[in-house]
Structure 1
Amino acid sequence: MAMMLQGERTIPAPPAAVWERLLAPEVLRACIPGCEALELTDENVYSATVLIKVGPVKARFSGGVTLADLDAPRSCWLAGQGSGGVAGFAKGGARIDLEPAPEGTLLRYDATVEIGGKIVALGDRLFRSVVNNNVNAFFDAVAAGFGED
C-alpha cells in the first residue's frame, strides 16, 4: 500500500534556522513520532528504532534514515525504511523545501509512504489517518522549537 502526501506550513524563523533544526540529530529524534532511538552511523545516515501504533497494533520498526540532496538552506530529501518483523515493512521519503516568507520560512513537503506485510490488513483508511497524523506531528514538532503551535 502506498500513499502520497503534500503540505506546507509557515514557521516563524529564517530558513537558515529552520535548516539547522531539521538537520540536528537530537531534533530529528524528538520530532519523529514514536522514535525510540536515532544514532548517526555515517555522514547524514542514521539507524533508528520507531514504535508505530496503527489501530490496535503496535509494531517496532528498526531501520535507517538518510538525509540526501542537501542544498542548504533551501531543500533536502529525507528517506527512511524499516522492518517491523512479522508486522511488515515501512519505507518512505520526503522532499523538503524552505523558502523565505514575510512571516519567516515557508516549509513545503512532498512525501511518499509505502507499507507491506501484515500491518496492511488493518486497512487503507486507518493507515492513511496514522500516516497523516505522524507527518503533521513531525512538522508541528519542528515548528514548536520556534514558538509555533
Structure 2
Amino acid sequence: MEISGSRRIAAPREQVWGALTSAEILKSCVSGCEEMTGGPEKGFEAVVKQKIGPVSARFRGSIRLTNVVPGESYTITGRGKSRAAGIARGVADIRLSDVEGGTQLDYAVKADVGRKLAKLGRRLIDGLVVRMADSFFDGLQLAVEGPIEPAAPADVTEESDKKPGWFGRLMGKQKA
C-alpha cells in the first residue's frame, strides 16, 4: 500500500522538526502507542496496541531514521511483530519546506503486512493504513500548533423571545 500527502503546519520548520524527532511527541501521535523510547540517532523502540478488524494485537517494534538532512527530511522505517497478528512494516519519506505562515510537511508512505494480517484482506488493511496516517499527522499538527481556541459564544436571546424553528413547530411548540 502506498499513500502520500502534505500538511501545512502553522509553526516554524525547526519546531516541526523537533516534534518529528521527539519520542514523547511521536508517542502521542501514534494511535494506540503504549510506549516509545530512544531517539533519532540510535532509533526508537515502541509498543503499539491496535485492533484490526477482528484481530486485537500488541506490536513490539523498532523505528529507524535514515537519509537524515537535519531540519529538512528523513526516511523513517518501522517494523513491528505481534504473536496474534503477524508482521507490519512501513517506510515513510518526510520532507519539510518553508511556506508562508509556517511549514509544509510532505510525506510518502509504503506499508506492508504479513502472516495473519495479510489474510484479513487488502481493503481492510489499506483503510487502516490511511486512518493511521491521518491520525498521526493530525496528532503531530495538534502537538505543534496547540489546540484551536473555541470561538466566543454569540449573544443568545431569552428562550421565550425565540420563534420556534421548523423542529419546534413540528413538535407542536408554538410561541404563545
Report TM bin, short chain.
Answer: over 0.9
Conserved 8 A contact 2:55-2:84: no
Larger RCO: Structure 1 or Structure 2 (Cα < 8 Å, ≥ 6 residues apart)? 1
SS in 1 for 2:146: coil
**Deviations, residues 28-85 of structure 1 (Å, cap 9, x unaligned):** 1111111111111783311111112111211111110112222121101111001111
Aligned-pair identity (%): 35
**Deviations, residues 12-34 of structure 1 (Å, cap 9, x unaligned):** 01111100111111001111111
Partner Cα separation in structure 2 for residue 111 and residue 27 of structure 1: 19
Moved beyond 2 Å, runs of 4+: 41-44
Conserved 8 A contact 2:96-2:106: yes
When the two structures are aligned, how many residues end up with a matched partner? 147
1:117 paired to 2:111: no
Partner Cα separation in structure 1 for residue 141 and residue 63 of structure 2: 20
Once the two structures are TM-superposed, the CA of residue 148 in structure 1 deviates from its matched residue by 6.6
SS in 2 for 1:33: coil
TM-score, normalisation: structure 1: 0.92
Specify which of 131, 134, 146 is matched with residue 133 of structure 1: 131
Q: Which residue is equivalent to 1:34?
A: 32
Partner Cα separation in structure 2 for residue 52 and residue 108 of structure 1: 25
Cα 1:42–1:106 change in 2 (3 A) is: closer
Conserved 8 A contact 1:86-1:117: no
TM-score, normalisation: structure 2: 0.79
Partner Cα separation in structure 2 for residue 61 and residue 147 of structure 1: 29
**Deviations, residues 78-108 of structure 1 (Å, cap 9, x unaligned):** 1100111141100111010001011211100
Specify which of 73, 76, 81 is matched with residue 83 of structure 1: 81
Looking at secondary structure, tell me which structure has more strand per residue.
1
1:57 paired to 2:83: no
SS in 1 for 2:71: coil
Could you tell me which runs of 5 or more consecutive residues in structure 2 were left unpaired when the two chains were aligned: 149-176
AA aligned to 2:35 is A
Aligned-pair RMSD on alpha carbons? 1.6
Query: Which has the higher Rg, Structure 1 or Structure 2?
Result: 2
